[in-house]
Chain A
Amino acid sequence: MQSLTNRAKAVDRRPLNLLEKAYLPAIFKGMSITFGHMFKKRPTINYPEKTRPFSPVFRGLHILNRDEEGRENCTACGLCAVACPAEAITMEAAERKSGEENLYKEEKYAARYEINMLRCIFCGLCEEACPKDAIYLSETFAPANYQRKGFIYGKSDLLIPHPKNEPEAFAQARGSRVKTTNN
């Protein structure tokens, strides 16, 4: 049969010669190989101290955005929930009362906003669907949890820190690649 590649090797079935029977040269060869591995670079990363850099288009945990004044952008229009192929998003709308203008940007807001991180497939369609720039995907992923209900993220988990009260946390959560448009 003709071989498909030229990499095939015939098995050498000759009896061992004296040097090969002595085993020792082969043993020393093997030991030099393993010794050489001591100086190789290790591919392991010390995880909790060091993390692998994510790609700039990585889609991780969701964040609900605020504007510069610290008001929530979300108007609970439901477009993200409609766009979501995994049906991971649920929300309840509420009307803004007078005196709450500094909390919510427009007259309607999301009183409850939940994303089930076990259902979410991190496709980013919610981010694309949002007309208010209220939701985007960040550079982290959902940490482990002991219970399923721990993976249902509410508003308290999703909202970005307040830009005026906690500017550092806000800047950190915003990361480097958030669109800076405010409409």
Chain B
Amino acid sequence: MLLAVNLALIIEKLVLIVAVVMSSLVVAMYTTFAERKVAALLQDRRGPNRAGPFGLLQPLADGLKLFFKEEIIPNFSSKFLFILGPCLAMLTAMMTGAVVPWGDKIVLPNGYEVSLQIADINIGILYIFGVVSMGVYGIMIGSWASNNKYSLMGGLRAASQIISYELAMGIALIALLMVTGTLSLKTMVNQQMDGIWNIVKQPLGFLIFIICVFAECNRTPFDLPEAENELIGGYHTEYSSMKLGFYLFAEYINMFISSAVMASLFFGGYDIPFLNDTQFAAEHGHNLMALLHGAMLFIKIAFFLFLFMWVRWTIPRFRYDQLMNLGWKTLIPLALFNMLVTGALILFKQNGWHF
């Protein structure tokens, strides 16, 4: 009996993992397309419109092109690490999706309930932090193994940037954790479904968090590691073919997962505003509810992805000293201030607003 239950659980989780990985890959693919399209729209151009209707097959053509390109491993590089770099970047990008709740639950015809989250671990947000900081190893190892000074510069910048902004990000999150009192993403989403979204409680925290997310994803205005015009591509200078594709893909998957995390932390996750979820689920069934929840989360993610692109095509890149100034001298004090105020307010509230 015990074995049977475990087998069902294993199959359930396997299916979920495959679904999440596949969907994040497809979303990443079409994010590249959306990026080119949005860039074109913002610049009064038309964007890719030749491959298929509205150019929808463009990402497939791009992928095919990357596969057919010659795979070059430089003679002077460290081969093992050179291959390990993009693999690690891809792996860490994929791993983050495990703790994001994609919906509440679906009920199979035989009454078996499937939770739409791969792992509801009670330290979910810490796990995300851990894995995201591992992501820098992909860039660092790849750039160092390339044995190229531009790559190394890119890798150095990536490492220092991600470490600097991780601090502000963490402190901004501590304030949020003090408000919610939990580390599990699922619990946070459930709290927001019953109450108000965390963005109302933590507007400054969200601002700091989103700036840090831009930095963590190496997106403009913080794309110094791959600054094309100063570092000829930064850490992926020496990369070609699908290894380059892995780096680019990892960036887009990171964007996707960070958008999902931001939506879950601050914008109610899969919560549909102004809808009584329990009543709706009782009337129309859990599966339709789960579908709507997933669609809602996807809309929120799409908005954040659009924001990433919108900012990319608006704001020029920071200089390195400006980047460090912003991170250490502005964001960290601001995050500390936010934490202090939040803590004070929570204490006052517990005291019944007695001073």
**A interface list, Cβ under 8 A from B:** 27, 30-31, 33-35, 37-38, 40, 42-44, 46
Contacts and interface: CB of A to CB of B under 8 A. Distances in A.
Contact of A42 (B46, B314, B315): B46
Nearest to A27: B315
Contact of A31 (B44, B45, B310): B310
Given A31-B310, A34-B310, A35-B310, A43 B44 contact: yes
B315 A37 contact: no
A31 B306 CA distance: 12
Contacts of B44: 37, 40, 42-43
A31 B49 contact: no
Given A31-B315, A46-B46, 8 more contacts: A30-B315, A33-B314, A34-B310, A35-B42, A37-B42, A38-B41, A38-B42, A44-B45
A37 B41 contact: yes
Given A42-B46, A46-B49, A27 B41 contact: no
Given A42-B46, A44-B46, A46-B49, A31 B41 contact: no
Contact of A27 (B42, B43, B314): B314
B314 A30 contact: yes
Q: Is the interface of A mostly helix, strand, loop or mixed?
A: helix
A51 B30 CA distance: 30
B311 interface: yes
A27 B311 CA distance: 9
B160 to A, nearest CB: 21
B298 interface: no
B45 A34 contact: no
Interface string B35-52: 000000111111001000
Nearest to A22: B330
Contacts of A43: 44
B310 A42 contact: no
B127 interface: no
A46 B315 CA distance: 29
Nearest to A48: B50
A4 to B, nearest CB: 32
Contacts of B41: 37-38
B208 to A, nearest CB: 12
Contact of A37 (B43, B49, B311): B43
Contacts of A40: 44
17 contacts: A27-B314, A31-B311, A34-B42, A34-B310, A34-B313, A34-B314, A35-B42, A37-B41, A37-B42, A37-B43, A38-B41, A38-B42, A40-B44, A42-B44, A44-B45, A44-B46, A46-B46
Contacts of A42: 44-46
Contacts of B310: 31, 34-35
A33 B314 CA distance: 9
Contacts of B45: 42, 44
Interface hub of A33, A34, A44 (most chain B Cβ within 10 A): A34
Contacts of A35: 42, 310
8 tightest A-B contacts by CB? Answer: A34-B314, A34-B42, A38-B41, A30-B314, A31-B314, A44-B46, A37-B42, A40-B44
A44 B44 CA distance: 8
A33 to B, nearest CB: 8
Contacts of A46: 46, 49
Nearest to B49: A46
Interface in B281-332: 310-311, 313-315
